[in-house]
Structure 1
Amino acid sequence: MDFTELYTHTAYLVAFSPGAHFILTAAQDRLIVRRTETFQISRTWLLDSTPSESISALGKPNSKSSRPHSEPKHPPISSIGWSCDSEYILAASAKAGVVQVFKLRDEDWKARIDCGAEGLTKAIWTPDGRTILCFSEWGLRVTVWSLVTGIATYIQFPLYPDRGYAFRADGRYFALAERHKSKDTLGLYDTSDSYRIVRHFALPTSSLASFSLSPTGNHISAWEGPLEYKLYILTLAGHCLKKFAPEPEPVLGIREVAWHPSGMFLAILGFDDKVQILDALSWSPVTTFEPASKTPSGVVIWREPSRWLETTEGRGFISYEKLRGPYTLALNKVDHTKPNLKPGVVQLEWNQIGTLLLSPETAPTTAHIYKFPEANENFVPRLRSLLLHSHTLLQASWNPVRKGSLALCCGNRSLYIWSDEWEGELGEQEEMAECIGVPAEFDTREISWSGDGKGLILLSKETFCCAFEVEDGAAS
C-alpha cells in the first residue's frame, strides 16, 4: 500500500468520485476537489452560506442571551455528494438551510437551493444525477428539486431523514416510509414522471424501524423497532407475504437486515447476536448462526500480532498470526436490564457476489466471516474465518470490485486487510491477512473504498489520507 499525505476535513465529509478520478473534501465552508493520481487541487469553491430568507426571518436571537462568539461566522458544510456521472457536486449547510450545486468542468457555474421554514437536515443526489432530495427538520417533508426543470415536488411526512427510504436498483421508483394519521405507511413514487405517487399503503408495523428493498426490486422487508422481533416481507403492491418472528421471541428486536446480492436470501441480525438466514422461496429460516465461545473445527483463525506497531514503528506490513483450533472466544453477555451500549462494529454485509457474509457477534474485537456456497455447490453455510484484534473493531468494508477482499479498522495507526485471493506457491488461491501500518500520527476511525476497488479513504477525527494498491505487489 502507498499512502498519501494527511489532509484536513470537516465532519468526515470525504468522497471519491464515481469514476475514482477525483476526491471531494469539505473543510468548514469550503469544497476542495483533488485528482487522485497526483492529489493536486483541481477545483475549490467557497459555499455561500448566507442563511435563506426563511431561516433569517425565523432566527431572531435574544440579544441578552445570545453569544455571537460561540457561533461560527460561516456555518460549516454538513453534507456533500457527487452526481452519478461526476459532473455535478452538491454541498449543503443544514444550519443555514442552503444547498449549493457546482459543476466540475465549469468553475463559474453554480446553483443554489434555499430551504423554507421547514429547515434542512440533509441533501442527497438521486440516481439520475440531476435531481436532489432535501430532507426537512421534524419529519415535515422531502423536497425533490430538479436541476433540469427547476421545479420542486413535495412529499409530506417522511418517517426518518437518515433511513427509511430507497431507490429501486434501476432508479425507476422511490420508496419512502411515512407517517400518516399515526400509522406507518409506505409511498412509492415514479421518478420518471416527476415523482408522481404510484402506490400508497399502510404497513403492518406499529413502530417501523426501517425497511429495505430487495436487489431485484420485487420485495420489501420491513421490521419493527428494537422492542419487538418482527419482520414483514411485502410486495411493491403492499401485499404481506410473510411475517417472521422466531419462537420463542427474543427480548429485544432486530439490529440489521441485509439482502443477498441475488435477492435469494435475507440475513437478519438481532440484539441477541443471532443471525437468521431466510430464503426467498418460503421466507423461512434455512440456517441460524449463534454466538459460540468455542470455534468449530475447520475454521481459519487469524490473530493480530502483539505490539506489532511498536516493532515496525508504524511502517510496512506484517502478517496476522495463524492459529490452530479449537479456540475459545471471550463473549460479552447481553444484559437486557441495561441500555445497549455494546462497543464494536454493528454491520451485516455480503461481499460482491454473496459468497461471504461479514457479521459482528458478542466479541467486539472479532470479525466473523461466513462462507456461503455458490450456485453449483451444496447449500451448507459455515463459519469460515475469524479475525482477532487487540482493539475494538470500528468498521469493516468489502471491496466493491474484488469478490474476496475485506478492509477493517480499529481506531489505531493501522489498516487491516483480509483476502482469499492470494496465490500460494503451487498457484492455488488461499487466505491471507495483513496488518498495515499508517506512516503518520493518525488513528483510523472510518474507511471507504473507491469505486474501482483500488483505493481507500482513511479518516481520523480531523484528518484523512488515502491508501492505494501498488501494482507490483510491494508495500510501503
Structure 2
Amino acid sequence: MTSWELSPLYRHSHTLVLAHSPHLVSLHRDRLVLRSLSTLSPIRSWTLPSLPHPLTSFAASPNEPEYILVYSAKQRTAWVVDPAKDGEVARIEVGNEGCVAMAWAQTGEGANPTAMAWAAHHLHLSLFPLPSSSRTPSPTLQPFRILSPKHSPSPSSSSSGYSFRPDGRFLAVLERHQARDVIGVYSTGSSSGGGGGEWALVKSITLPDPTSDLADLSWSPCGRYIAAWSSITDYTVHVFTPTGTLLATYTPYSSLSPPPASSTSTSSSRPSARSKPPPPPQPSTTPTTSAKPRTRLDRSTNPYVGLGIRSVSWGRDGEWLAVGGWDGNVRVLSRHGWEAVAEVAVPVRLSGGVNVWREPPNWVSNTRGHGILSYDPVPLPHSLTPLPLDLSRPNPRMGVERIVWSESGRWAAILNAAFPNTIAVFDFSSLLALASSSSSSSAADEEETPRRPSLHTILLLSPSTTTTSSPSSPSLAWQPSRAFSDGESEVLCWVSGEKGFGMWRAPGGKGGKGEKGVAECVGIPARGDFSAHSLAFSADGEALLLSSSLSGASSSTGSNGASGAEGIFCVAYPVYEGDEVHVPGGGGTADDSLGAGGRTWTEDEQEEGETYL
C-alpha cells in the first residue's frame, strides 16, 4: 500500500457498511440513501414512513438477503427495509413493555434473517424470524422469547450478554433465573438448510459457583469453547464447551480472596445446646494484628485494588484468550490447560528494543489536511505518565479498555485507560512459533523458545484539539488485509478526534520497512469542520469508513419529525503499488492521489447527495 484516496464529506444521522455487498447505506433525517461503496454515487433513496421520534437503532443484516433495520424506541416500532426494493419488508411492534435495544442475529446460511429485541427491565429477549422473500409487509410476526436476559446492548457499556458461534448455528445468552446466572445455548435453525428451522433451547449451562455474577460471554473463533467472565468486583474466567462441560476456571487473585465458609457451619446463628463454648483466645507472643485486619491488608495490595476484568478478546483460531484487567495487565491464556502463558502491560519506563513514535504536533493545521506525514521517532529511554488515579469515581480511568488482534494473530494492539493517548502493539510471534511446534519439538527446544510476547511499538498520539471534555481513548481497527495473497503488511488504523486518521504498517511485508514498521498520519483536506471519532473497515478491507460523532443530539426535532442530531462521514480507499486509482467523482493515477499530493474536489462533486461543505 502506497497511499489513500478520500471521498467528499456527507451528512448523516447513522452510517454503516453492508457486510456482504459493496454498498453503503446512510440515514439522513427521515431518508435512507443507498450508495455504491466504491464510488459513493446514490443508487436509491426513500423516505421512511411516519418517523416522529429520533431513532434508537440502525443496522444491516449480516447475511443474505440484506435488510435494513430501523427502530424508534419512543414509537415502539421497527421497520425492516430491503435496499433492493422500494418499500418495507416487515414492521415490528415491540408492545407496551417497551424495547431498550434491537439488533440483527448473526445466523448462518440457510436461516431466515432474525431481528433481536430486548425488552425493558430484562423481561425477555424476542427473536423475530423474517421471511426471506416477501413483497408485502408482515404486521404479525411470531417471536421466539428468551426469558430473563441479564444484559442488553447499550452504547454506554461494552457488555452485550450474548454471543453467536462463528458459523451462526448456535446462540449463547447470559440469563438470570432464581437469583443465579445461567448460560443458555440455543439452536438458530441454520443447520436445517433452506427452510430456516425453528429456534430451540439445546443446553442450559449452570455455573460451578451459585453466587457468580457474570458480566459477559464470548464464543471462540473456532466454535469449540465459550468463555464467560465475572463482573467488575471479581476476577474469574470460566471456559466451557458448548455441551456444558467446565474446562477450566482462571482466578489469578484467588490467594487474596477470603477463605470459604467451613463445611461444618450451619445456616442458623443460634448455638447448639450440646456444643461447648469456644475456647478463650490465646495471647500471642509477638505483637501482630488480628486476622481480620490482616485479611483486609492482603486484599489491599498494590497490584490488586478490588477490581476485576475489563476486557476479554479471543486470539486467532481460539488458540489464545487475552484477559485485560482493571489492574492494567493482560494475561494470555492458552487452550492447552487454560493457564496464563504470558502477562504483558504498558510499561511506564521504555528502554531499548521498543520502537516509539510520536504524532507530529499541529500537523493538521500546518498541512491543511493534505498529504501523508510520518510519525517522529522518539529517542530512548522514554517515560510515560499515566493519568492520576481517582478511586472515588465509579469507573476510574484505569485498566485495559480494548485488546484488538490482527488477522494473522501475530500482533495485538492494547489500549490502557490510564494512558489515553497511547497505543501499545505487542508481538506474539514467539507464542505462535511455540504453538505450531509444540507437537513436534522436544522439551529442550521448548525451553529455548522465548514464551513471553515482546512490546514492539508504542504510538504516542497528540491530544485532540477538538475535545474539550476528559481525554478519551482512540478508536482503532486492523484492516482485513490481502497480505496473505499479495505480501502486503498488516495495517492498524485509528482515529482520535482529529481531521484525519493514523496508520501503522507492520514489518514483514512490502509496506513495512525493516523491523520497525511505518507509522504515518493521513489528513482529510475538507473545508468544513470534521473530526473523526469512529472508523470501520468493509468486509474486504478495500474501504475505510470514517465518521464523526453526532452533534445536536439534545436538540429538538425538526419540522419533519427527525432528530436534529447530525454527523459527517467520508470513505478512505487504500491505493496499492501498481493499482489504478478510482476515486468517487473522479479518477487518476497513484501520483494524483490524496496521499501523494492532495486533490481539490469540484463544486458538483461536493454538492452531490448530502455533501457537507
Instruction: Normalising by structure 2, report the TM-score.
Output: 0.69
Q: Sort the Cα spacing of 1:455 and 1:196 in 2 relative to 1 into closer, same or farther, 3 A.
A: same
Look up the match of 1:258: 313
Compared CA separation, residues 437 and 151, structure 1 to 2 (3 A) = same
Q: What amino acid is aligned across from residue 386 of structure 1 in structure 2?
A: I
What do the CA deviations read for 1:91-138 (whole angstroms, capped 9, x no partner)? 222221112112222214521111112222222222246222222222
Question: Structure 1 counterpart of 2:104, which letter?
Answer: W
Of 338, 343, 356, the match for 1:288: 343
C-alpha displacement of 1:77:
5.2
CA contact (8 A) 2:182 2:205 kept: yes
- Which of 99, 104, 113 is matched with 2:78 structurally? 99
Alignment of 1:17-416 (within 5 A): 17-49=18-50, 73-76=52-55, 78-85=57-64, 87-108=66-87, 110-126=89-105, 127-128=107-108, 130-148=113-131, 150-162=141-153, 163-192=160-189, 193-203=197-207, 204=209, 206-247=212-253, 249=256, 250=304, 251-342=306-397, 346-361=401-416, 362-373=418-429, 374-375=432-433, 376=436, 378=449, 379-391=451-463, 393-402=473-482, 404-416=490-502
Shift of 1:152: 2.0
3-state secondary structure, aligned to 1:138: helix
1:465 aligns with 2:566: no
**Contact 1:260 / 1:266 at 8 angstroms: preserved in 2?**
yes
For residues 333-392 of structure 1, give each alpha carbon's deviation from its aligned partner in whole angstroms, at most 9, with x where no partner exists: 534343334289921111112111111223211100000113457444110111011125
Q: Distance in 1 between matches of 2:511 and 2:46?
A: 52
Instruction: Tell me the number of residue pairs that the alignment of Structure 1 and Structure 2 aligns.
Output: 452
Structure 2 residues without counterparts, runs of 5 or longer: 133-140, 154-159, 190-196, 257-303, 438-448, 464-471, 484-489, 550-566, 578-589, 599-613
Greater RCO between the two (CA within 8 Å, min separation 6)?
A: 2
Amino acid across the alignment from 1:467? A
C-alpha separation in 2, matches of 1:198 and 1:424: 48
Structure 1: which 5+ residue stretches go unaligned?
A: 51-72
Cα separation, 1, equivalents of 2:534 and 2:45: 24
Corresponding residue of 1:15: 16
Letter in 2 for 1:354: G
2:446 is the alignment partner of 1:446: no
Deviations 1:33-81 (A, max 9, x none): 111222222122323347xxxxxxxxxxxxxxxxxxxxxx344353222
Whether the aligned pair in 1 keeps the contact of 2:79 and 2:88 (CA below 8 Å) is: no
Rounded Cα–Cα distance in structure 2 between residues aligned with 1:427 and 1:381: 21
- Shift of residue 206 of structure 1? 2.4
Structure 1 residue 30: deviation in Å? 2.7
1:128-161 CA deviation, whole Å, 9 max, x = no partner? 4622222222211111111238542111111111
Answer with 127-136 or 336-345: which moved more: 336-345
Is the CA contact 2:71–2:102 (under 8 Å) kept in the aligned structure 1? yes
Alignment partners' CA distance in 2, 1:262 and 1:172:
17
Letter in 2 for 1:85: E
Matched, 1:4 2:84: no
Displacement of 1:221:
1.5
- Alignment deviations for residues 141-187 of structure 1 (CA, whole Å, 9 cap, x no partner): 11111123854211111111110101111111111111111111111
Which amino acid is 1:408 matched to?
W
Mapped to 2, the partners of 1:142 and 1:81 lie a distance apart of 19
Give the drift of 1:428: 6.2
Q: 1:344 to 1:220 in 2, by over 3 A?
A: closer
What is the match of residue 68 of structure 1?
A: none
User: Does the C-alpha gap of structure 1 residues 306 and 20 become closer, same or farther in structure 2, counting only changes over 3 Å?
Assistant: farther
TM-score (norm: length of structure 1) = 0.88
- 1:200-246 Cα distance to aligned partner (Å, 9 max, x none): 13234622111111112222211111111122222222232222221
8 Å Cα contact 2:415/2:473 also seen in 1 = no
| More divergent stretch after superposition (439-448 vs 426-435) | 426-435
Q: What is the percent sequence identity of the aligned residues?
A: 30
Deviations 1:254-286 (A, max 9, x none): 100011122111111111111111111111111
| Secondary structure in 1 matching 2:173 | strand
Contact kept in structure 2, 1:177 and 1:185, CA below 8 Å: yes
CA-based RMSD of the aligned residues comes to 2.5
State the match for 1:54 in structure 2. Answer: none
> Is the Cα contact below 8 Å between 2:309 and 2:324 reproduced in 1?
yes
More helix by share: 2
SS state at 2:386 partner: coil
Q: 1:166 touches 1:175 (CA, 8 Å); kept in 2? A: yes
Provide the C-alpha distance between the structure 2 equivalents of 1:416 and 1:387, rounded to a whole number of angstroms.
Answer: 10
Structure-2 residue corresponding to 1:59: none
Cα separation, 1, equivalents of 2:78 and 2:481: 32
Letter in 1 for 2:476: A
Supply the AA of the counterpart residue of 1:158.
P
When residues 201 and 169 of structure 1 are mapped into structure 2, their CA distance, relative to the original with a 3 A threshold, is same
Q: How far 1:427 moved relative to its partner? A: 8.4
Residue identity in the other structure for 2:326: F
Offset at 1:4? Answer: 1.6
Q: Alpha carbons of 1:428 and 1:304: their partners in 2 closer, same or farther (altered >3 Å)?
A: closer
Question: Which amino acid is 1:234 matched to?
Answer: F
Correspondence for 1:434? 520
> Against the structure 1 CA distance between its residues 470 and 88, is the aligned structure 2 distance closer, same or farther, given a 3 Å change threshold?
same
Judge conservation of contact 1:29–1:75 (CA < 8 Å) in 2: no
Structure 1 or 2, whichever has the larger Rg, is 2
CA distance in 1, matches of 2:375, 2:388: 27
Q: Aligned partners of 2:474 and 2:199: how far apart in 1?
A: 37
Answer whether contact 2:59 2:104 (CA < 8 A) is retained. no
Contact 2:343/2:452 (8 A) holds in 1: no
Report Cα offsets for 1:265-318 as digits up to 9, x if no partner: 111111111111111111111111134211242111111112222221222110
Matched residue type, 1:2: E
- Secondary structure at 2:78's aligned position in 1? strand
- Equivalent-residue separation in structure 1 for 2:340 and 2:512 (angstroms): 39
